[in-house]
Structure 1
């Protein structure tokens, strides 16, 4: 008996991520249309992963299907953006507060190394490296906290963060300072300060 091997889901997820970023950054404004064939040609993929991606984005409320015309981009309101960053900051702050109670000297050294890498990436305007070090820093904090379910929800919310922040030198410099403050709060095992620093950093991601 033959067994059908399913197509890897990563491709449609990557396509969804690309289109999602264009929506949240305004590159695809409300009311504009995403047509499957055109998007497939632009992204260099077949129509199938684009179709799957748009179905997923429709489920997220980012697009709606219009018969015979394609998928129309829905409006992302100011309240929507505020809600997204509130959710991110609330979850991240809770995880940072938990991490402050269990952090070790080894953890602090690793976080400092990651922040040094972020500082260097910002100075070099290396967008890819900025994104990588920022992601790894927060991933490390979440791992220290041990709240993997909360971290999973946070990762879902971060999908809606415009990646334009990584190209903003002022934002990058501020993130480095914020990380330094967080590490210092961890050294003091100051739960409230750690949570507050993290919440404020996520609020600063709102660059509308």
Structure 2
């Protein structure tokens, strides 16, 4: 007899994967506000069944990314570049506090680990290895959060960053170079054990990232609207 436990433990992973996928499409501007999102389509795109895809859309409705329109289904909720900027501004305040604590707590081993991650990130950018670049970016920030040694603050940060996609960054014009430059400033602050400088560097880094994503989002939406307008005049 086969246990049902593997299936029950696998489903949340599938729905979470689908949630992250659709959230990323929305935040990147690929799915515009007002767009109908069908669980069947998401399931086909990810190679999963309709059930976890529908669970993902329900979760995104709770988060405010989708709306449920009677007799139509799930549609992308209103979203603007300014909304994205606001999310990153809040993240910057929390991330800055964690970075300041990390600078105060940093050991030689901690600094060496961050330096290694930074060099690996630079190497990935040079190879145009976007997946590796995003992986090392995430690891760099995770290391700083661990160094801060403040579980509750990290937990609060997690509530905010769940609305921000981990993917798509490397495809945004200017993001790889901005990440390398901003991380270098963060490293300087941590190497000097300067909480104030590190806080400022982290806040500027996160706000900068948000601006790049928001500008990318606005540009994609504007281009799509122009294409729609052009199509409406075609014969």
Q: Which has the higher helix share?
A: 2
Supply the distance in 2 between the matched residues of 1:19 and 1:84 (Cα, whole angstroms): 18
Query: Corresponding residue for 1:136?
Result: 139
Query: Corresponding residue for 1:165?
Result: 169
Supply the distance in 2 between the matched residues of 1:150 and 1:88 (Cα, whole angstroms): 11
Distance 1:175 1:51, change over 3 A: same
The equivalences for 1:1-208 within 5 A come to 5=5, 6-8=8-10, 9-162=12-165, 163-168=167-172, 170-206=174-210, 207=212, 208=215
Supply the distance in 2 between the matched residues of 1:29 and 1:169 (Cα, whole angstroms): 20
Give the match's secondary structure for 1:161: coil
Supply the distance in 1 between the matched residues of 2:118 and 2:129 (Cα, whole angstroms): 14
Displacement of 1:158 after TM fit?
2.6
Give the match's secondary structure for 1:64: strand
Bigger mean CA deviation after superposition, 42-51 or 109-118? 42-51
Native 8 Å contact 2:18 2:42 kept in 1: no
Displacement of 1:10 after TM fit?
0.8
Unaligned runs of 5+ in 2: 216-235
TM-score computed with the length of structure 1 as normaliser: 0.92
Displacement of 1:4 after TM fit?
5.1
Give the match's secondary structure for 1:101: helix
Bigger mean CA deviation after superposition, 182-191 or 87-96? 182-191
**Once the two structures are superposed, what CA deviation does each residue of 1:136-165 show, in whole Å capped at 9, x if it has no partner?**
000000000012222233234233335332
Over the residues paired in the alignment, what is the CA RMSD in angstroms? 1.8
TM-score computed with the length of structure 2 as normaliser: 0.82
Number of residue pairs matched? 207
Unaligned runs of 5+ in 1: none
Native 8 Å contact 2:186 2:198 kept in 1: yes
Native 8 Å contact 2:115 2:187 kept in 1: yes
